[in-house]
Amino acid sequence: MNAALRDLAHGLADVIFPPVCVHCRALVEAGEPEVTVGPDGDIVAAGPFRHLCRRCVAHLEFVRPPHCVTCGHPFYGIVEGERTCEKCLGLEPVFDEGRTAVLFKGPARALVIELKYHRGWHVLADMAEIFRRSPHVLERVRGSVLVPVPLHPRKARERGYNQAELLARALAEAAGGGTRVAALLRRRADTQSQTAFDRRTRMANLKNAFALAPGAAINPALHYTLVDDVFTTGSTLNSCARALRGAGGLSLDVVTFGHG
């Protein structure tokens, strides 16, 4: 379906089934593309959001430089000296740098929950729009190989999809410039949810949890970027990075949609 037909289909669908904001549940009014300013001062026309109302869009907390070089969390005010935040002390990252688009709260959190737990593939359009409005993320990933954090096969069967892979594809489309997605990793340890554990426990649980996927190969000349939905302690991403490093990856970053 070409862009004109897709826009027409969306317009007709919105008339019959008016879109509802995934955060506040208010109706999302159709609007003209909003205008944003790029990092070089140029005016950039950005598309409208389809599943967040204007009020909730205004409450998205976009990350802008300066930020922690490890997790991407923003610094506020003037930054001198060390560029690693307190949250990343003790992580000992195996990757080079980490970046994130928004803080994982409010409307951004609602988008992730809708995608991850309610099969809300429709919100990927808004998540891609958020990536398009995050130039510091796009400039870092453009032209790289995006590697989604994998699910264990059991979890993949239960959920039916990997939200990290869907986000990676949305990011690749937003970045352009030859950016592509490759599922190079497999999760061999079926660990329970790590959300209730601290970093030390997560690191122990995730030790050797990831490996190169069968038939996958790493080209040391390429730039690889691990992609996940949320950066919490960094333990999962670091475990994935360790697997890629061990397979020969020399240039390796991480990008998440949100920072929790």
In this structure, is residue 255 part of a structural domain?
yes
Residue 36 in any domain: the answer is no
- Of the two residues 260 and 11, the one the predictor is more confident about is 260
Classify residue 140: in a domain, yes or no: yes
Instruction: Determine, yes or no, domain membership for 12.
Output: no
Per-residue pLDDT of 186-203, as tens digits, reads 999 776 665 656 666 766
Amino acid identity for residue 256 in this structure: T
Mean pLDDT of the 40-48 span: 56
Specify if 122 maps to a domain: yes
pLDDT at 77: 73
User: What percentage of residues in the chain have a pLDDT greater than 70?
Assistant: 80
Q: In the 8-state DSSP scheme, what is residue 84?
A: -
Query: Are the CB atoms for 21 and 53 separated by under 8 Å?
Result: yes
Rounded Cα distance between 110 and 82, Å, is 33
Which pair of tokens denotes residue 92? 């000992």
**In 87-199, beta strands by DSSP E:** 97-103, 145-148, 180-181, 185-187
Average pLDDT, rounded, for the chain: 87
Q: In this model, does residue 143 exceed pLDDT 80?
A: yes
Could you tell me if residue 171 is inside a domain?
A: yes
d(CA 96, CA 245): 11
Structure tokens at 104: 């994982």
Q: If pLDDT is split at 50, 70 and 90, which confidence band does 208 have?
A: confident
- Within a domain: residue 192? yes
Mean pLDDT value across residues 46-54: 88
Q: Find the CATH number of the domain harbouring 98.
A: 3.40.50
Number of domains present in the structure of the chain: 1
- 13-17, 20-24, 27-31 — most confident range: 20-24
- Top pLDDT among 81 and 8 is at 81
Please report whether residue 148 resides in a domain: yes
**For residue 5, is pLDDT > 50?**
no
Q: Residue 95: its pLDDT value, please?
A: 98
Domain that holds residue 70: 60-259
| Residue 29's pLDDT band (cuts 50, 70, 90) | confident
The residue behind tokens 């205004």 is: 58
Tell me the C-alpha distance between 32 and 36, whole Å.
Answer: 13
84 has pLDDT over 60: yes
